[in-house]
Amino acid sequence: MSDYQHVPVLLKEVLFYLNPKPGQNIVDATLGGGGYTEEILQIVGNKGKVLAMDLDKDALENAGKSLSKFKNLTLAHGNFARIDHIVKSHNFPAPDGVVADLGLSSYELDQGGRGMSFQKQEILDMRFDQSAETEDARWLLKNKSEKELTKIFSDYGEEKFSRQIAEKLKQLGHDLKYTTDLYQIITDALPKPVKHKANDSARRIFQALRIAVNHELENLEAFLPKAFDLLVPGGRLVVVSFQSLEDRQAKQFFNGLAKGCVCPVEFPQCVCGQTPRAKILTKKPVSASELEISRNPRGKSAKLRAIQKI
Ligand SMILES: C[S@@+](CC[C@H](N)C(=O)[O-])C[C@H]1O[C@@H](n2cnc3c(N)ncnc32)[C@H](O)[C@@H]1O
């Protein structure tokens, strides 16, 4: 593993909304380069505890070294979709705060040899967890039908030429192995007038494949209610997302908790009797400042949402 590079996004804002205090117990559901974890550890001090998890063993290996001076840090290899099991199996107390910074780290994009970037020739793997026996991007491209690939590209990548790209892929007489092969197919499939925008299409297609390979939306759906249930009353849940589908998922989940009532809208009055379970702390999603974006372009699409359990 080369140096694990990742500049944390919205760090100041995450700390503001998570509001960790000395002696508290916090879960970082996405360790990555450990940027959030380290700051949280400093704040909770030696009377507090932090549990940080990741699917990526490189992230854990890196933090095992870079954060080794913190004796109150527990590192766990696992999927945040199973946060309840992970917290329980480490005998970690009910957390005062949980944070998830979704998607991939800069290391995974640029250095990890995962095939997540179209700008390097690498094997089309795309899994966060390369130690698992799960299907990678090559498997998906080979085994999904043209219709299924079209849906993945348009739902998760919002790519206008999804159908043409899926069609070109399925016309191939052989299996794809490298990122550069996929990039070539994308370029070939685009109509002539938009071929010069191949990098934009490639970015969307690579994102879509990564989301599908890692079941990112399914994981988030499982994570949100489990993370919320774990929190102590008054505890906070903070989610940083980088694409609209994830942000929508967090927004809808938070709105449901804040509303309480689950009666159909056409009911003239509430009959379910359910009361709000959380207070929304971010009426609108929080974005990165111009200054942060100028220093770290990754911040451009970041959106932070936070709630507090009642
Ligand atoms: C944006 S990075 C986190 C960066 C981190 N906040 C920091 O400051 O360095 C996202 C991390 O989440 C991990 N990840 C993605 N999906 C996951 C999941 N379902 N469970 C656990 N970790 C996941 C990725 O492997 C990646 O390391």
For the chain, the 3-state helix, strand and coil shares in percent, each to the nearest 5, are 50, 15, 40
Atom of ligand 1 nearest to the CA of 56: 25
Inter-CA distances, 64 with 68, 98, 164, 183, 184, Å: 6, 20, 45, 36, 39
Q: With respect to residue 117, please indicate whether it lies within any of the assigned structural domains.
A: no
Residue 282 reports pLDDT greater than 90: yes
Any ligand 1 atom below 6 A from CB of 6: yes
Atom of ligand 1 nearest to the CA of 107: 27
Q: Mutation test of ligand 1: which of 6, 10, 30, 38 has the most ligand atoms closer than 8 Å to its C-beta?
A: 30
Residue owning the nearest CA to atom 20 of ligand 1: 79
Q: With respect to residue 3, please indicate whether it lies within any of the assigned structural domains.
A: no
CB atoms closer than 10 angstroms to residue 161: 21
Residue 44 reports pLDDT greater than 70: yes
pLDDT at 208: 98
Tokens read off for 202 = 């490639």
Query: Looking at the structure, do residues 233 and 84 belong to the same domain, yes or no?
Result: yes
pLDDT at 33: 97
pLDDT average, residue stretch 241-263 = 95
pLDDT at 174: 81
Q: With respect to residue 113, please indicate whether it lies within any of the assigned structural domains.
A: no
Residue 74 reports pLDDT greater than 70: yes
Atom of ligand 1 nearest to the CA of 6: 9
Domain C-terminal end among 157, 188, 213: 213
Any ligand 1 atom below 6 A from CB of 107: no
pLDDT bracket for residue 301 (50, 70, 90): very high
pLDDT average, residue stretch 252-273 = 92
Query: Looking at the structure, do residues 208 and 246 belong to the same domain, yes or no?
Result: no
pLDDT at 304: 98
Residue owning the nearest CA to atom 27 of ligand 1: 32
Query: Looking at the structure, do residues 220 and 304 belong to the same domain, yes or no?
Result: yes
Any ligand 1 atom below 6 A from CB of 63: no
Count of the separate structural domains present in the chain: 2
Query: Looking at the structure, do residues 198 and 220 belong to the same domain, yes or no?
Result: no
The residue range of the domain holding 21 is 11-107+216-309
Query: Looking at the structure, do residues 192 and 227 belong to the same domain, yes or no?
Result: no
Domain C-terminal end among 168, 186, 213: 213
Query: Looking at the structure, do residues 83 and 100 belong to the same domain, yes or no?
Result: yes
Q: Mutation test of ligand 1: which of 31, 116, 125 has the most ligand atoms closer than 8 Å to its C-beta?
A: 31
Any ligand 1 atom below 6 A from CB of 36: yes
Domain C-terminal end among 195, 213, 231: 213
Inter-CA distances, 46 with 16, 25, 41, 234, 272, Å: 20, 11, 8, 22, 44
pLDDT bracket for residue 112 (50, 70, 90): confident
CB atoms closer than 10 angstroms to residue 43: 16
pLDDT at 1: 61
Q: With respect to residue 121, please indicate whether it lies within any of the assigned structural domains.
A: no
Query: Looking at the structure, do residues 205 and 222 belong to the same domain, yes or no?
Result: no
pLDDT at 175: 87
For the stretch 183-231, pLDDT in tens is 999 999 999 999 999 999 999 999 999 999 999 999 999 999 999 999 9
- Domain of 26: which CATH number? 3.40.50.150
Q: With respect to residue 261, please indicate whether it lies within any of the assigned structural domains.
A: yes
pLDDT bracket for residue 53 (50, 70, 90): very high
pLDDT at 172: 86
- Domain of 133: which CATH number? 1.10.150.170
Ligand 1 mean position, distance from CA 14 (Å): 15
Query: Looking at the structure, do residues 203 and 247 belong to the same domain, yes or no?
Result: no
Q: Which residue has the higher pLDDT, 36 or 2?
A: 36
Q: What is the pTM of this model?
A: 0.96
Residue 2 reports pLDDT greater than 80: no
Q: With respect to residue 115, please indicate whether it lies within any of the assigned structural domains.
A: no
Q: What is the mean pLDDT of the chain?
A: 96
| Residue 123: exposure state from Cβ atoms within 10 A (0-12, 13-18, ≥19) | middle
Query: Looking at the structure, do residues 75 and 151 belong to the same domain, yes or no?
Result: no
Q: With respect to residue 234, please indicate whether it lies within any of the assigned structural domains.
A: yes
Query: Looking at the structure, do residues 95 and 168 belong to the same domain, yes or no?
Result: no
For residues 115 and 130, what is the distance between their CA atoms, to the nearest angstrom?
A: 12
Any ligand 1 atom below 6 A from CB of 35: yes
Q: With respect to residue 118, please indicate whether it lies within any of the assigned structural domains.
A: no
Query: For 23-26, which contacts have Cβ atoms below 8 Å and span 24 or more sequence positions?
Result: 23/47, 23/48, 24/48, 24/96, 24/97, 25/49, 25/50, 25/51, 25/92, 25/93, 25/94, 25/95, 25/96, 26/50, 26/51, 26/95, 26/96, 26/97, 26/98, 26/99
Ligand 1 mean position, distance from CA 105 (Å): 6
Query: Looking at the structure, do residues 245 and 103 belong to the same domain, yes or no?
Result: yes
Ligand 1 mean position, distance from CA 104 (Å): 6
Query: Looking at the structure, do residues 179 and 62 belong to the same domain, yes or no?
Result: no
